[in-house]
Amino acid sequence: MTTPRRLVASISLALVFPAPLATQQSPFTIEQVMGAPFPDELTAAPTGGAVAWVFNTRGARNIWVAAPPDYAGRVVTAYAEDDGQEVGDLRWTPDTRAIVFVRGGSPNEKGEYPNPHSLVAGVEQAVWVVPVAGGSPRRIGEGHAPAVSPKGDHVALLRRGQVWWASLADTLPAEQLIHARGTARSLRWSPDGSKLAFVSDRGDHAFVAVYDVATKTLRFLDPSVDSDADPVWSPDGRRIAFLRNPAGAEGLPFTPQRAGQPWSIRVAEVASGAGRQVWIADSGPGSVFREVVADNQIRWGAGNRIVFPWEKDGWTHLYAVPVDGGRAALLTPGGFEVEHVRMSPDGATMVFSSNQDDIERRHIWKVSVSGGPPTALTRGADLEWTPVMTGDGRGVAFIRAGPRMPPRPVILLGPGGGTPRDLAPGAIPSDFPEAALVDPQPVLFPAADGMTIHGQLFVPRGIKTGDRRPAVIFFHGGSRRQMLLGWHYFYYYRNAYALNQYLASRGYVVLSVNYRSGIAYGMEFREALHYGAQGASEFNDVLGAGLYLRNRPDVDPKRIGLWGGSYGGFLTALGLARASDLFAAGVDLHGVHDWNIEIQNWVPAYDPAKQAEAAKLAYESSPLAYVKDWRSPVLLVHGDDDRNVQFSQTVQLTAALRTQRVDVEQLIFPDDIHDFLTHAHWVAAYEAAAAFFQRRLGRTP
């Protein structure tokens, strides 16, 4: 393992490298189970059949490509260090000869870029371009969110909320293209490359704007007091469709929102700026917009049909409506949720992942934008996500994983489907412990208030009748997440799944809990009453999980621990604070400990003094409100440049627990963020967690 360059901890380095248990030798290390490269950013070339993705291999992030006919993946960049610098926002040039990308993370509110190695020379977030055939990347300029012109001559990008652009034909520096009020986002070129649409966010409202390259003029489309988003061009470049969310519709974050003022879809004429409403959501369920994972939330499909997500029936589905208006047609009926969505190059087909007929997994489906039953492209015990149709329309590429086999990019060729072809078959290291992993089992258990909760149970091998093992409960973050019966599509939860497998290999019974306010079980489960800052009703699920394990014959009821990160850290802390008699110890990674502080992180205008009733309930829903009842030891892990959960939350909790004489251990990563940017920090955190549980919950048989 690569040791972090700066590591502050109140635990000794011996705990970061725990000795094997005397009575049960682990068949693999945390380094090994986290050693497979993680694929992400899968994208298809605009023409031909090539695809590209990013492999994160022990912290070294590189772009790979695979092209027909052999689809043999190869690397096109050569970054070799676990340097904490992200690679993403991949954009093909129209001629498919190069890929534009971003290297480096986004700045915090002070404008500081994430620098987890504390490099004194500093770091940046910049746009680069690299030839697909090979060669060194060329820096285009500081910024992010690149949008390559269909003409292939320029790339637009965002820098400090303003629109810049640079030539792809020469090495002249990028220059600011538009000087405008507000914060720009969602850059969208017109089909002919003559105009650039974007969203101008003004705080309590947002406009869709169009910049004309030839005349150097800016026009706002159908402006209002509302917040417009996700512009999409018509194929002829004369109109733009976009979403409109009504002013004042957003409630406080981390509270249930089952209904609100309805959102709508509008279409505007680019030449005049005049707009009209094409469709509006019904009141009640679905009136609050629910997004999917897509490059744009609405798409202009074949036959002039707008495709969009809606949860009218309480499930996130795809619908289509004619551009001229009319009733929305449901494309994906059933009790399941659509998640990762892409449109085919010809606009006739949507490819997507969902949990249809398999609620604890993801599989790939396709459906015509004109309607008809969806067709399954994958089934079985594996999981598949992020589908993209190739530019020539002959294949669908996606990421595939299993309960043991880690995620890897594959492609399904031909109209008849068949067996997916692995795009990088040699990428998995030879020492990856696939054979030593266990298959998690789906379980259902009652929460303390009777609600049925889903989970995955990792049962260690070799348990004999009469064995009473220590157990650990894992809570994901989000809370808009779902853990699955296999490796996860988020890097953060790929890592969490690895630790759960490692703990099972060490003899722990591990329960991963999909608590209320998570996704994939419908709107009412996700928008659970009194969840989060409005009552912390998820604590019922924490208690239910503990009681479920306590009543299992293979679990020692006095040795049950908790762990989780972010929202999962909140539930870990809440469980320890309110039920130390049930939970013996916990590992809390960057958890929320006071909802009033966390809400201000997302809504700066939130003033607890002016919303006294909501603030009182938010505090009573927080672990800090129950710290006087907290007795169980805890390991706190946090990066002090966290932009999601303020580092002050861990500072505040530590001080409060010390006053109560609770045994607190800490592992702090200076200059790292919420989702640790270095592989070394992830390994250090997880090895410290495993050692903590070994000492606090005792040895396994």
- What DSSP state is assigned to residue 213? T
**CB neighbours of residue 605 within 10 Å:** 8
Task: Note the pLDDT tens digit of each residue in 152-173.
Answer: 999 999 999 999 999 999 999 9
Quick one: pLDDT band at residue 418, thresholds 50, 70, 90? confident
What is the per-residue pLDDT for 701? Answer: 67
Bridge partner residues of 229 (DSSP): 243
Concatenated DSSP letters for 582-597? T--EEEEES----HHH
Question: Distance of CA 434 to CAs 405, 438, 491, 580, 677, Å?
Answer: 6, 9, 18, 36, 25
What is the per-residue pLDDT for 5? Answer: 33
Report whether 362 contacts 292 (CB < 8 A).
no
Report whether 475 contacts 513 (CB < 8 A).
yes
Concatenated DSSP letters for 481-493? ----SS--SSHHH
What is the per-residue pLDDT for 15? Answer: 32
Bridge partner residues of 162 (DSSP): 159
Mean pLDDT for all residues in the chain: 95
Answer CATH for 8-33+432-697 from 1.25.60.10, 1.10.3720.10, 3.40.50.1820, 1.20.1250.20: 3.40.50.1820
Q: What angle do CA 435, 680, 120 make, to 5 degrees?
A: 160
- The first and second tokens of residue 584, run together, are 């013996």
Asked whether this chain's domains 8-33+432-697 and 316-423 adopt the same fold, the reply is no
Mean pLDDT, rounded, for 641-670: 98
Mean pLDDT, rounded, for 429-441: 97
Kindly state which CATH superfamily the domain 39-178 is placed in. Answer: TolB, C-terminal domain (2.120.10.30)
Q: Domain 180-289 adopts which CATH fold?
A: Neuraminidase (2.120.10)
Quick one: pLDDT band at residue 416, thresholds 50, 70, 90? low
Query: What are φ and ψ of residue 580, in 5° steps?
Result: -65, -20
Residue with tokens 């963020």: 673
What is the per-residue pLDDT for 134? Answer: 87
Task: Note the pLDDT tens digit of each residue in 304-362.
Answer: 999 999 999 999 999 999 999 999 999 999 999 999 999 999 999 999 999 999 999 99
Report whether 205 contacts 172 (CB < 8 A).
no
Alpha-carbon gap, residue 606 to 596, rounded angstroms: 9
What is the per-residue pLDDT for 26? Answer: 54
Mean pLDDT, rounded, for 71-85: 97
What is the per-residue pLDDT for 6? Answer: 33
Mean pLDDT, rounded, for 211-216: 98
Residue extents of the structural domains in the chain: 8-33+432-697, 39-178, 180-289, 316-423
Three-state secondary-structure class, residue 318 = strand
Task: Note the pLDDT tens digit of each residue in 359-389.
Answer: 999 999 999 999 999 999 999 999 999 999 9
Q: Domain 316-423 adopts which CATH fold?
A: Neuraminidase (2.120.10)
Nearest to 679 by CA among 248, 149, 38: 38
Mean pLDDT, rounded, for 570-580: 98
Q: At what angle do helices 539-550 and 567-578 cross, to 10 degrees?
A: 70
Nearest to 464 by CA among 590, 553, 572, 349: 553
Q: Does position 558 have pLDDT exceeding 90, yes or no? A: yes
For the chain, how far is it from start to end, CA to CA, in angstroms? 27
What is the per-residue pLDDT for 699? Answer: 74
Alpha-carbon gap, residue 415 to 266, rounded angstroms: 35
What is the per-residue pLDDT for 9? Answer: 35
